[in-house]
Amino acid sequence: MSRLDWRKSTFSEEASSCVYVAVTGNGKIRLRESDDPEVILRTTRASLRAFIRGAKAGAFDRIQRGGA
């Protein structure tokens, strides 16, 4: 994979808990976290858009650590 231009989320508060996003040459989306940058999530624009809509609507507000 060619070098990606990673952009840090403006909502990331600490240097140790940042979320980064990059777009590949063919338009695919890549996401990673600063605490484990080798793990890269691959998704599409449509899937990311749906996730963001759900987050804004509160769909994930009840997620708890260690379980659903």
Tell the burial category of 44 from Cβ atoms under 10 Å away from its Cβ (0-12, 13-18, 19+): exposed
Q: What is the spatial distance between Cα 10 and Cα 14, in angstroms, rounded to a whole number?
A: 11
- The residue assigned the tokens 């379980």 is 67
Q: What is the pTM of this model?
A: 0.72
Q: What is the pLDDT of residues 29-52, one digit of tens each?
A: 999 988 888 999 999 999 999 999
Q: Using pLDDT thresholds of 50, 70 and 90, give the confidence band for residue 1.
A: very low
